[in-house]
């Protein structure tokens, strides 16, 4: 199997983060998650570290030059890695400009022939349903998705803690996230579709079945 770069797209609630981690484990890929990169960067208390901390606290989008610097450093590191099998990008692109920049970067690093773009598709109705019903463990903060067998569990599977609703998962907040997806991410999806690279996966199945479809798509 040649090296592959897999980019995950999907609404919140689509389960793309879970699927990205599953795929990473199964194929031994590296993982570029913008959330992880940003959190790591805030540990360094220089100007950029402090600024990113502030922006994250306000829940705003990180300006493109800052996020791009983090990706490029990471991609550069992976390019020089001896036994790289492939890597997964999760959490970006979030703006059409980012999609163009990623394309140019992948071309520069001579990986543009190896890209798979997976859209984990769920309807707005399903996203609202899942996000307003999902729960979080009071003790260890593990998020319990509202899919498959997780719908029925009463206690945290990790620490047996109490499960409660998430305060930021109100209908209003969820709808605003979906609106953002439509204005910012839909153009990215259209762009990948027009360039013949979009692979649509039905996200309204069990976690196992979504994963099976993903494995077929990356083979």
Residues near Zn ion (CB under 5 A) are: 137, 139-140, 142, 156, 158-159, 161
For the bound state, the minimum distance from the C-beta of residue 163 to Zn ion, rounded and expressed in Å, comes to: 8
Residue nearer to Zn ion on the CB measure, 156 or 199: 156
Residue nearer to Zn ion on the CB measure, 162 or 195: 162
For the bound state, the minimum distance from the C-beta of residue 136 to Zn ion, rounded and expressed in Å, comes to: 9
CA angle 178, 182, 187 (to 5 degrees): 150
The token pair at 51 is: 């600024």
Residue nearer to Zn ion on the CB measure, 155 or 197: 155
The CA distance from 194 to 201, in Å, is 17
For the bound state, the minimum distance from the C-beta of residue 133 to Zn ion, rounded and expressed in Å, comes to: 18
Q: Coil, helix or strand for 2?
A: coil
Residue nearer to Zn ion on the CB measure, 51 or 142: 142
The CA distance from 5 to 197, in Å, is 12
The CA distance from 136 to 158, in Å, is 12
Answer for the pair 191, 96: CB distance below 8 angstroms, yes or no. yes
Residue nearer to Zn ion on the CB measure, 7 or 144: 144
For the bound state, the minimum distance from the C-beta of residue 35 to Zn ion, rounded and expressed in Å, comes to: 20
- Which residues, other chains included, contact 178 with Cβ-Cβ below 8 Å and sequence gap of 6+? 11, 124, 127, 128
Express the helix, strand and coil content of the chain in percent, nearest 5 each.
55, 15, 30
The CA distance from 2 to 16, in Å, is 23
For the bound state, the minimum distance from the C-beta of residue 214 to Zn ion, rounded and expressed in Å, comes to: 27
Query: Which 8-state DSSP code applies to residue 14?
Result: S
For the bound state, the minimum distance from the C-beta of residue 56 to Zn ion, rounded and expressed in Å, comes to: 24
Residue nearer to Zn ion on the CB measure, 40 or 159: 159
């Amino acid at each position: 199997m040649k090296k592959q770069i897999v980019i995950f797209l999907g609404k919140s609630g689509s389960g793309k983060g879970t699927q990205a981690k599953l795929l990473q484990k199964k194929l031994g890929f590296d993982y570029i998650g913008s959330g992880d990169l940003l959190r790591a960067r805030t540990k360094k208390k220089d100007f950029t570290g402090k600024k990113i901390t502030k922006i994250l606290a306000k829940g705003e989008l990180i300006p493109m030059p800052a996020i791009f610097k983090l990706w490029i450093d990471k991609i550069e590191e992976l390019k020089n890695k001896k036994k790289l099998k492939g890597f997964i990008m999760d959490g970006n692109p979030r703006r059409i400009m980012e999609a163009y920049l990623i394309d140019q970067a992948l071309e520069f690093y001579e990986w543009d022939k190896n890209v798979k773009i997976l859209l984990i598709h769920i309807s707005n109705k399903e996203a609202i349903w899942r996000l307003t019903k999902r729960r979080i463990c009071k003790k260890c903060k593990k998020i319990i998705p509202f899919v498959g067998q997780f719908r029925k569990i009463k206690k945290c599977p990790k620490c047996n803690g109490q499960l409660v609703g998430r305060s930021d998962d109100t209908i209003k907040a969820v709808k605003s996230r979906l609106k953002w997806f439509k204005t910012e991410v839909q153009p990215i999806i259209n762009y990948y579709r027009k360039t013949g690279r979009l692979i649509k996966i039905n996200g309204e199945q069990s976690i196992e079945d979504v994963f099976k479809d993903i494995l077929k798509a990356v083979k």
